[in-house]
Amino acid sequence: MDVIKKLSEELKISYSQVENTVDLLDKDNTVPFIARYRKEVTGGLDDATLRHLEERLKYLRNLKARQEEVTRLIHEQGKLTKELQEKIEKAATLQEVEDIYRPFRPKRKTRATKAKEKGLEPLALKIYKQEDFNMEEEISKYINPEKGVETPEEALSGASDIIAEWISDNPEIRKMVRSITSEGKIMTKKTRDEISPFEMYYEFSQEIKNLPSHRILAINRGENEGYLSVKLQTDEEEILRKIYKKLFKDGLHQNFLQSTIEDSYKRLIAPAVEREIRNSLTEEAERKAIEVFGTNLKNLMLQPPIKEKVVLGFDPAYRTGCKLAVVDEHGTLLDTGVIYPTPPQNQMENSRKELIRLIEKHGITLISLGNGTASREAEKFIADTIKEIAFKVEYIIVNEAGASVYSASEIAQAEFPDLDVSLRGAVSIARRAQDQMAELVKIDPKSIGVGQYQHDVDQKLLKEKLEKVIEDVVNSVGVDLNVASRALLGYISGITKKVAENIVKYREENKGIKSREELKKVKGLGPKAFEQCAGFLRIPESEQILDNTGVHPESYHIAERLLNEVGWKGIFKPLNIVKLAQEYDVGVPTLNDIVKELRKPGRDPREELQKPLLREDVLEIEDLKEGMTLQGVVRNVCDFGAFVDIGVHQDGLIHISQLSDRFIRDPHEVVAVGDILQVEVLNVDTTRNRISLKRLQ
């Protein structure tokens, strides 16, 4: 298999683009580096395409390695034919390769292997080939009490077991059965009479090919928790008929062979194929769920930072009190406190006085409220209290998922060794308003609740995917080298966790890093690592202005020549990029990027996105009426719609059918986490705490 050619055909890009990209990946270049600084080599492939290429490259190389291994194993058995080798080479999936190898795989003790040990294989072969012979006379030759064959019935039964296994091991039969079964339905029934989240599946059926990923995962969970039984329904008669037609002719031993086919299908093929299809459905559903999580996480991390504000982080709770933490414009902790405005204490007056005291003492203009337990009561308390402040104070509701995980982590321990664990979460909540990206990198990605069924999917794949998402986001934004935490630096292209620690240690010992060039003095940061990371690290304090841009040091001579020839003012005028690229002997994409960076040195791409929604007052669910128009923030996007915070604590759902005037297959086509939408209230169910919304275009 020509892997490069296969990737070129799949991704619909040129052979040379794939070849060059694979060469870059094989030389330990990261995807963010390739996407940003090797556009001429890849033909401008973006990070999403590069990630897909990277994943498929890994799969196809594994496929090729397995093809070679199976070929070797069959050859060692002396059973490799030219036809078989061609089938192995043409196999497009690992499943196809395993189907081909199945008849040659060393088997555990089966009914067929036991029958072969009794010497019944020649009889089975005669029947399988539909040879014309006297059955009674032929069977009598195989009666052998010493081998455990005492009656004609036992001889026939053993022959049937052998033939059943041959049929089951036939890769073409497997493929055909899998194809027909995949056109069938999945059926679920309840296994106990209890109220549960799976009631819609207590008597449920749907065509397998139309089953959305979230339903597959829900059915799996219901089955695993003992609420559901699951079965695939298919046309068994059609399958049995097609197996017979493919392997045999009408005539000799027909009844016996039809009975054997039925046994082979029901005992061997159907259970295995059902497992394969269920596994395949689950893998695809998990892949989709992981993609959804990744997309949501990316959009959450790209939320524009709220800069130059002293922020009070408010971590709501009931019995243990609400934790408060004040941080300055740079996220440095200034003050902490605990108040009890929620049940069971309900110390409203003391809590109000303490909150006002902190606000006035530190000149706080923004409160960052976590959206967890007791946030509804806390929000009302905040909204009522800030009305009494002489200057304008607003609040923002942030996703607090993972704050408790952060509180007990080694990172939090290193940042705040003397701070009580319960207060560290409030610091994280405050900092999330200032810079979601910088704070969320400190948390295990799966703890950030912006997905669906994240605890049901393959945890290894989830972790790999989310870490790649974070890597892409962090590098697309860039980080301030002298401010970034160890966790944030650890996601920069080419920087390992150990090197991140060394950078922090070096800058502490040397009172900061004053230039990109100085990075080379950091222990463990060699030439390759410098090449990969330098362009993504910003140093606002550097005397070299290019150190605070996305221009890579390898292109400084181009940027400096451009500035010398056209000047700073000339950068903002129309430029003949193609002509200049030829003069400077540089690619057009690279020169375009240089000009873009020079026009906005030190820019944060997140600042061009929609600003977060700040609030001053709160609604109750009882205040909502059908037809009411509100503004809300998208908190989560899944297969069936988007959950929107409209300021009543309980997120409302915009079903996929209400997201757009046109038909859409995926909510991500029209909305993303963090989007601010105008919505109309369609229905309010106060009993079940459910709000149905419609997006207004």
Gap between the Cα atoms of 544 and 51, Å rounded: 33
Query: What's residue 617's pLDDT?
Result: 76
Confidence of residue 78 (pLDDT cuts 50, 70, 90): very high
Confidence (pTM)? 0.82
Those residues whose C-beta lies under 8 Å from the C-beta of residue 22, and which sit 6 or more positions away, are 3, 4, 7, 53, 57
The mean pLDDT value of the chain amounts to 93
Token pair for 391: 């200057």
Query: What's residue 620's pLDDT?
Result: 78
SS3 per residue for 539-575: CCCCCCHHHHCCCCHHHHHHHHHHHHHHHHHHHCCCC
Query: What's residue 371's pLDDT?
Result: 85
Query: What's residue 482's pLDDT?
Result: 95
Tell me whether strands 311-315 and 690-695 are parallel, antiparallel or unpaired: unpaired
Those residues whose C-beta lies under 8 Å from the C-beta of residue 170, and which sit 6 or more positions away, are 103, 247
Gap between the Cα atoms of 367 and 382, Å rounded: 8
First to last CA, the chain: 49
Tens digits of residue pLDDT in 615-636: 777 777 888 889 989 888 898 9
Burial class (CB in 10 A: 0-12, 13-18, 19+), 292: buried
Tens digits of residue pLDDT in 364-380: 999 999 988 888 889 89
Query: What's residue 644's pLDDT?
Result: 92
Tell me whether strands 479-480 and 394-398 are parallel, antiparallel or unpaired: unpaired
- In whole angstroms, how far apart are CA 265 and each of 157, 169, 183, 259, 274? 16, 11, 17, 10, 11
Query: What's residue 125's pLDDT?
Result: 96
Query: What's residue 605's pLDDT?
Result: 86
Query: What's residue 631's pLDDT?
Result: 87
pLDDT reading at 297 higher than 80 = yes
* Percent share of the chain, pLDDT over 90: 78
Query: What's residue 156's pLDDT?
Result: 96
Tens digits of residue pLDDT in 102-158: 999 988 899 999 999 999 999 999 999 999 999 999 999 999 999 999 999 999 999
Cα 576 to the center of its chain, rounded Å: 41
pLDDT reading at 568 higher than 80 = yes
pLDDT reading at 679 higher than 90 = yes
Confidence of residue 462 (pLDDT cuts 50, 70, 90): confident
Query: What's residue 145's pLDDT?
Result: 93
Domains, in order of start, for the chain? 3-98 (1.10.10.650), 111-293 (1.10.3500.10), 311-406+417-434 (3.30.420.140), 621-695 (2.40.50.140)
Helices (H), 573-634: 577-584, 588-599
pLDDT reading at 686 higher than 90 = no
Query: What's residue 228's pLDDT?
Result: 96
Query: What's residue 645's pLDDT?
Result: 87
Give the CB-side neighbour count of residue 58, counting CA atoms within 13 A: 6
Gap between the Cα atoms of 459 and 463, Å rounded: 6
| Look-up of token digits 């037609």 | 245
pLDDT reading at 357 higher than 90 = yes
Which secondary-structure segment (H or E) carries 339? strand 333-339
Give all strands (DSSP E) within 71-227, no chain letters.
185-190, 203-207
Gap between the Cα atoms of 48 and 645, Å rounded: 29
pLDDT reading at 550 higher than 90 = yes
Query: What's residue 450's pLDDT?
Result: 73
Tell me whether strands 228-233 and 185-190 are parallel, antiparallel or unpaired: antiparallel
pLDDT reading at 609 higher than 90 = no
Helix, strand, coil % (nearest 5) of the chain?
Answer: 55, 10, 35
Confidence of residue 533 (pLDDT cuts 50, 70, 90): very high
pLDDT reading at 649 higher than 80 = no
Rounded mean pLDDT, 194-209: 94
Gap between the Cα atoms of 550 and 592, Å rounded: 12
Confidence of residue 229 (pLDDT cuts 50, 70, 90): very high
Q: DSSP state, 185?
A: E
Tens digits of residue pLDDT in 388-436: 999 999 999 888 888 888 999 889 998 999 999 999 999 999 999 999 8
Rounded mean pLDDT, 169-182: 95
* 515-550 burial code (b ≥16 CB/10 A, e <16): bbebbeebeebeeebbbbbbbbbbbeebeebbbbbb
Q: Is the dihedral of CA 412, 418, 423, 429 positive or negative?
A: negative
